[in-house]
Amino acid sequence: MVNSRIFTAALIVIGDEILSGRTHDRNISQVAAWLQVQGIRLKEVRVVADNTAAIVEAVNTLRARNDYLFTTGGIGPTHDDITVDAIAEALGVGVIIHPDARAILGRYYETRGGLTEARLRMARVPDGADLIPNRFTGAPGIRVDNIFIMAGVPSITAGMLEALTGTLEGGAPLLSETIGCWVGESDVADLLRATEQAHESCQIGSYPFWREGKTGANFVIRSTDADKLAACTADLVAGLKASGRDAVPGGI
């Protein structure tokens, strides 16, 4: 049975390289899409600098008001990787070398030049933490309380999310239907508003675009209830039809 409570999460993307515009973030969309499948709503994302005070503030605000908090970035071996220390500070705990992480890294680097002091930094965790496996480079992610500390490199984060799949309690997933239409959204604004109002637990989002020299929009209908979602979608399709416009199932 699907839990009827709504489970929420927040994400903190840590890294000067995102805020400088040098690196285009790819973790927000992958974490967002993964959470949808787990039945967990992503409520807020913050991108913060490699700065202890900024990380501590974001961590303490967001962990308190969400079921889960995810972070990406800042867990490598170099001096600018300060995420573990900042989260330990936010939690008011010390930082320890996790014995399993040390063993994993020791095996990984056995044929790669040995476990140097810099590499051993990647075994440091807030006291009381568990590990999230990383099958790519050995260096694990970290779970402590309701916080999941993941890598900045998107392919490694993908592996960590894969390791977490199905392990977190979620609620009813937010279902969605998308329909597209070659129409300016302002031409159907009244219809969208009226249709949403007539279907209590449904939301309709409107996403305009310009392609092939034409104006169009995709309408995304969302609900946790499959029947209500279908009814709202059918009403919107019928409303568009009544005004002489064909809806494209699945969007344009």
Q: Which residues pair with 96 in a beta bridge?
A: 125
> Any contact of residue 16 with a copy of itself (CB under 8 A)?
yes
Count the site residues for a copy of itself by CB under 8 A: 66
For residue 89, the minimal CB distance to a copy of itself (Å) is 18
- Cβ proximity to a copy of itself, 25 vs 89, nearer residue: 25
> Any contact of residue 28 with a copy of itself (CB under 8 A)?
yes
- Token readout for 158 is 């993908």
Please report, for the chain, how many H helices and E strands are present, in that order: 9, 12
Coil/strand/helix, residue 75: coil
For residue 227, the minimal CB distance to a copy of itself (Å) is 21
> Any contact of residue 65 with a copy of itself (CB under 8 A)?
no
> Any contact of residue 32 with a copy of itself (CB under 8 A)?
yes
The string of DSSP letters for 4-62 reads -SPEEEEEEEE-HHHHTTSS---HHHHHHHHHHHHTEEEEEEEEE-S-HHHHHHHHHHH
> Any contact of residue 234 with a copy of itself (CB under 8 A)?
no
Distance, CA of 203 to CA of 199 (rounded, Å): 8
> Any contact of residue 165 with a copy of itself (CB under 8 A)?
no
Q: How far is CA 19 from CA 14, 15, 16, 27, 86, in A?
A: 9, 7, 5, 14, 19
For residue 19, the minimal CB distance to a copy of itself (Å) is 5
Contacts of 16 by beta carbon, 8 Å cutoff, 6+ apart: 49, 50, 80
Burial-class residue 22 by CB neighbours within 10 Å (0-12, 13-18, 19+).
exposed
> Any contact of residue 42 with a copy of itself (CB under 8 A)?
yes
> Any contact of residue 84 with a copy of itself (CB under 8 A)?
no
For residue 126, the minimal CB distance to a copy of itself (Å) is 21
**CB-based contact 84:125 (threshold 8 Å):** yes
> Any contact of residue 189 with a copy of itself (CB under 8 A)?
yes
> Any contact of residue 119 with a copy of itself (CB under 8 A)?
yes
For residue 61, the minimal CB distance to a copy of itself (Å) is 10
| 40, 48, 150, 181: residue in contact with a copy of itself (rule CB under 8 A) | 48
Residues that bind a copy of itself (CB under 8 A): 13, 16-26, 28-36, 41-50, 54, 76-80, 112-113, 116-119, 121-122, 153, 174, 176, 184-187, 189-190, 192-193, 196, 203-209, 220, 222
